[in-house]
Amino acid sequence: MKYSVENKDKLYYFSIKVKALRQDKPIEFLYWNGFNLHEFVRWKWYFKYREALLRVKYPKHFFDINSGFYFPEKPKDEKKVLKNKITSAKRNLTKWKNKLNKYKETVLHENKSRLIKKSFDDDPNYEKAILKIEKLEFELKEILHKKKIAYYPD
């Protein structure tokens, strides 16, 4: 099976870098992209003109001229993006719930051997964890609502 690409799938670019002889950092950098083949050929004179102006401005410098094509990124599927967001939100929620449960177990285990018992009400880290879990649950509900709208638009 041969892979064939038509010219309409390609986008073209042109770039000019002006560098001093012993420096990696460019003095000037010009870049044009997003042209189809017809536009690229039509505007090539302008790119050459800009190159000539820079050669007059920097006669003793090194020029790096590049042109070519690239394939534009396909737009991402909205449903796939929502699915990934849901997975990420569930993962973070589970991670924080597990951290909180581990902390509770540690405190309860330590309280068995202490005279003065540690309370969860006084601990700012416990409160932060609870707030974080509530925030993650809210975000998950919002994402699930967006998914419902994306799958079943009215």
Strands 11-19, 26-35: pairing is antiparallel
Cα 129 from Cα 133, distance rounded (Å)? 6
pLDDT: is 141 or 9 the higher one? 141
| Mean pLDDT of the region 125-154 | 81
Of residues 114 and 86, more confidence is placed in: 86
Taking phi first (over 0 means left), then psi (-120 to 50 degrees means alpha), and beta for anything else, what does residue 153 get? beta
Per-residue pLDDT reduced to its tens digit, 25-66: 899 999 999 999 999 999 999 999 999 999 999 999 999 999
Residues facing residue 33 across a β-bridge? 13
Residue 151: what pLDDT?
Answer: 63
Helix axes of 124-151 and 78-112: crossing angle, nearest 10 degrees: 160
Mean pLDDT, range 63-75, rounded to an integer: 87
Give the strand order in the sheet containing 62-70: 26-35, 11-19, 62-70
